[in-house]
């Protein structure tokens, strides 16, 4: 006969007093999307504040003070870009083997080039269909006779010079670029001397104009301020790949860079609480700094609409279709997880400035394999410029239409190819596409000086296309992760098998506390496991698995 039910002890309320309370309903949604709401509030506050203060016609000093918190916010975000890129690339590439790095890099670059080419073609189709270029907007009084010497060859050669820097420390603060300077000659020196000598006279005599205008321009490689992120990315990629080949001896270096990455991400979390003040200040200051906002928008409205339609089609149709076909998941759920990073990219107009927040969304919210995100995102931040390719194609034909030019198939093909190539050499800084636009205009012999017409609206269009650039990097990481899933699983399996080997077996190592669970993809755990596999790089995963099986059979026979 069992004990009576009246003697049952009540449950102890102190047993789970330390357990976290699981939130449900709107509280759970609010907790998961708090940072998104904070970012969105900053954007809306900035727009409302900027439009509300415009009728007051504030002084330049007042606008500067309003923009000052946003300037500090941008500086803090940019401060973390360099250590974030270095630590993520070295730790990420060291956690994979050389063949794996090669496959991921090849898939990433092919995807980047394909999407940039598609965006340029989409931009050409839209600008020809909508025809936003109105010759009446062309003001002959604003035309300048200065035609800047820019060509595609110089842009591509500068890209190579920046990929292979001659000084790593210089690459942290300067970029190489080609400029055209007057070639020093005896005639030029004599002309300057005569002009200086006769300038004091009331009727100064000059050399004949045909001799004075004979100025020969020559190429000169100079350095300008700005981080050469491409060179740093290339060095860190190679360094991390070879770091993974020295085995346990390099593990302390991998742990060092992995720790730096974790520290930077914690700093990003703290900085994000300043988003309402920082982003609202940036947007409000930019709106207040525009001279005649209504006139500019009305004159170039169709140009803005053309770019916006292209961005809308690519974001909500093309990218979602690619994600659904390759990954076989709900693409709009993935898109919703990137809204916070997209709003940050929109506010800062820089993919690089939004990179810390992009990492946070991809790793913590969307749970994309950190070995892929830390490999793809820093590279895409500098190479993948989908929105820039679309913008350059639209802007170049827009200027040609305003000038009354009729472009044939050859000129359109030139715009397509040069827009794709120029976008991949673009810097991830605000308004970098305006410089690259000169390359395309020179290639089709369009008026280069008419680029100044776009300065008035570039501050807004730049933010629209930057969201395309940022989202393109994230979707690339998701697609590459899916295409590399078999290799990642084989790498995880090989790590587990090698870790489970008893000490004393051929190529085996002793057990480590806290073994890797199947399917675990944290970089720190994977890097430790991969480093303990062997002192040489894993080249063929099938060979590794066969070797592991043979060693396991050998161990069983010995037992």
Instruction: Give the model's pLDDT for residue 149.
Output: 47
Across 60-74, 101-115, 124-138, 302-316, which has the greatest mean pLDDT?
Answer: 302-316
pTM for the whole structure: 0.68
Characterize the bridge pairing of strands 174-182 and 217-225.
Answer: antiparallel
Judged against a pLDDT cut of 70, whether residue 431 lies above it is answered with: no
* Span 344-373, average pLDDT: 87
* Span 534-546, average pLDDT: 46
What's the token pair of residue 259?
């720790």
* Span 16-37, average pLDDT: 65
Judged against a pLDDT cut of 80, whether residue 202 lies above it is answered with: no
Q: What is the DSSP string of 270-284?
A: HHGGGHHHHHHHHHH
Give the span between the Cα atoms of 461 and 301, in whole angstroms: 11
Confidence of residue 174 (pLDDT cuts 50, 70, 90): confident
Judged against a pLDDT cut of 50, whether residue 21 lies above it is answered with: yes
Q: What's the angle, vertex CA 300, arms to CA 297 and CA 302, rounded to 5?
A: 105
Is the CA virtual torsion 66, 268, 423, 126 positive or negative? negative
Mean pLDDT over all residues of the chain? 75
Q: State whether residue 218 is helix, strand or coil.
A: strand
DSSP 3-state percent helix, strand, coil across the chain (nearest 5)? 70, 5, 25
17 neighbors 254 (Cβ within 8 angstroms): no
213 neighbors 193 (Cβ within 8 angstroms): no
Instruction: Give the model's pLDDT for residue 479.
Output: 94
350 neighbors 442 (Cβ within 8 angstroms): no
Judged against a pLDDT cut of 90, whether residue 318 lies above it is answered with: yes
Judged against a pLDDT cut of 90, whether residue 480 lies above it is answered with: yes
396 neighbors 437 (Cβ within 8 angstroms): yes
Is the CA virtual torsion 226, 230, 235, 241 positive or negative? positive
Q: Which of 35, 456, 458 is nearest to 279 (CA)?
A: 35
Confidence of residue 73 (pLDDT cuts 50, 70, 90): confident
Give the span between the Cα atoms of 420 and 425, in whole angstroms: 9
Confidence of residue 192 (pLDDT cuts 50, 70, 90): low
Instruction: Give the model's pLDDT for residue 79.
Output: 85
Is the CA virtual torsion 122, 304, 153, 355 positive or negative? negative
Give the span between the Cα atoms of 342 and 266, in whole angstroms: 20
Confidence of residue 117 (pLDDT cuts 50, 70, 90): very high
* Phi, psi (rounded to 5 degrees) for 200: -75, -20
HSE (side-chain half, CA atoms, 13 Å) at 427? 20
Give the span between the Cα atoms of 327 and 331, in whole angstroms: 9
Confidence of residue 481 (pLDDT cuts 50, 70, 90): very high
Instruction: Give the model's pLDDT for residue 324.
Output: 95
Phi-psi region of 328 (alpha: psi -120 to 50; beta: other; left: phi over 0): left
Judged against a pLDDT cut of 70, whether residue 535 lies above it is answered with: no
Q: Which residues partner with 174 through β-bridges?
A: 225
Instruction: Give the model's pLDDT for residue 332.
Output: 92
Give the span between the Cα atoms of 487 and 495, in whole angstroms: 12
Q: State whether residue 225 is helix, strand or coil.
A: strand
Q: Which helix (H) or strand (E) holds 325?
A: helix 319-327
460 neighbors 307 (Cβ within 8 angstroms): no
Instruction: Give the model's pLDDT for residue 514.
Output: 42
pLDDT digits (tens, 9 = 90+) for 218-267: 888 888 887 787 788 889 888 988 888 888 888 899 899 989 988 988 88
What's the token pair of residue 35?
């940072």
Confidence of residue 446 (pLDDT cuts 50, 70, 90): confident
494 neighbors 390 (Cβ within 8 angstroms): no
Helix ranges (DSSP H) in 33-97:
34-53, 60-79, 81-94
Q: Which residues partner with 178 through β-bridges?
A: 221
Instruction: Give the model's pLDDT for residue 158.
Output: 80
Burial 235-265 (b: 16+ CB within 10 A, else e): bbbebbbebbeebeebbebbeebbebbeebb
Give the span between the Cα atoms of 342 and 364, in whole angstroms: 16
Burial of 120 (0-12, 13-18, 19+ CB in 10 A): buried
Give the span between the Cα atoms of 416 and 448, in whole angstroms: 18
254 neighbors 91 (Cβ within 8 angstroms): yes
């Amino acid at each position: 006969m069992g004990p009576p039910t009246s003697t049952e002890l009540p449950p102890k309320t102190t047993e789970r007093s330390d357990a976290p309370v699981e939130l449900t309903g709107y509280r759970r949604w609010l907790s998961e999307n708090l940072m998104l709401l904070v970012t969105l509030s900053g954007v809306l506050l900035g727009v409302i504040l900027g439009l509300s203060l415009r009728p007051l016609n504030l002084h330049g000093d007042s606008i500067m003070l309003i923009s000052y918190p946003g300037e500090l916010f941008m500086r803090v975000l940019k401060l973390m870009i360099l250590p974030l890129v270095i630590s993520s690339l070295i730790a990420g590439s060291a956690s994979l083997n050389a063949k794996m790095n090669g496959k991921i890099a090849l898939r990433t670059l092919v995807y980047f080039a394909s999407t940039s080419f598609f965006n340029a073609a989409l931009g050409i189709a839209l600008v020809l269909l909508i025809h936003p270029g109105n010759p009446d907007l062309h003001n002959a009084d604003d035309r300048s006779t200065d035609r800047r010497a820019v060509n595609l060859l110089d842009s591509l050669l500068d890209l190579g010079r920046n990929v292979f820097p001659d000084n790593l420390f210089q690459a942290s603060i300067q970029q190489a670029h080609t400029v055209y300077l007057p070639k020093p000659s005896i005639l030029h020196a004599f002309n300057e001397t005569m002009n200086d000598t006769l300038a004091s006279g009331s009727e100064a005599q000059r050399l004949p104009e045909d001799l004075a205008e004979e100025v020969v321009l020559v190429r000169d490689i100079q350095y300008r301020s700005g981080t050469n992120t491409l060179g740093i990315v290339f060095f860190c990629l190679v360094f991390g790949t070879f770091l993974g080949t020295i085995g346990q001896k390099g593990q302390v270096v991998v742990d060092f860079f992995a720790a730096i990455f974790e520290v930077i991400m914690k700093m990003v979390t703290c900085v994000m609480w300043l988003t309402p003040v920082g982003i609202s200040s940036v947007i409000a200051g930019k709106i207040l700094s525009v001279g005649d906002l209504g006139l500019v928008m009305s004159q170039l409205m169709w140009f803005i609409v053309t770019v916006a339609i292209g961005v809308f089609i690519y974001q909500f149709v093309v990218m979602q279709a690619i994600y659904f076909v390759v990954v076989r998941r709900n693409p709009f759920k993935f898109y919703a997880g990137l809204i916070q990073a997209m709003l940050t990219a929109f506010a800062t107009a820089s993919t690089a400035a939004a990179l810390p927040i992009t990492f946070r969304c991809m790793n913590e919210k969307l749970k994309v394999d950190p070995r892929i995100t830390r490999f793809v995102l820093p590279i895409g931040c500098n190479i993948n410029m989908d929105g820039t390719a679309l913008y350059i194609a639209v802007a170049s034909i827009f200027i040609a239409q305003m000038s009354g030019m009729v472009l044939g198939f050859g000129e359109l093909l030139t715009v397509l190819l040069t827009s794709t190539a120029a976008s991949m050499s673009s810097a991830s800084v605000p308004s970098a596409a305006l410089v690259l636009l000169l390359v395309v205009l020179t290639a089709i012999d369009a008026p280069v000086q008419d680029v100044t017409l776009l300065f008035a609206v570039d501050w807004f269009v730049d933010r629209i296309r930057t969201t395309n650039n940022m989202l393109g990097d994230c979707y690339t990481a998701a697609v590459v992760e899916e295409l590399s899933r078999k290799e990642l699983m084989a790498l995880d399996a090989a790590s587990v098998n090698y870790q489970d080997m008893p000490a004393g077996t051929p190529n085996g190592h002793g057990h480590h506390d806290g073994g890797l669970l199947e399917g675990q993809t944290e970089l720190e755990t994977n890097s430790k496991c991969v480093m303990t596999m062997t002192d040489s790089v894993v080249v063929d995963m099938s060979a590794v698995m066969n070797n592991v099986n043979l060693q396991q059979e050998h161990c069983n026979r010995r037992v």
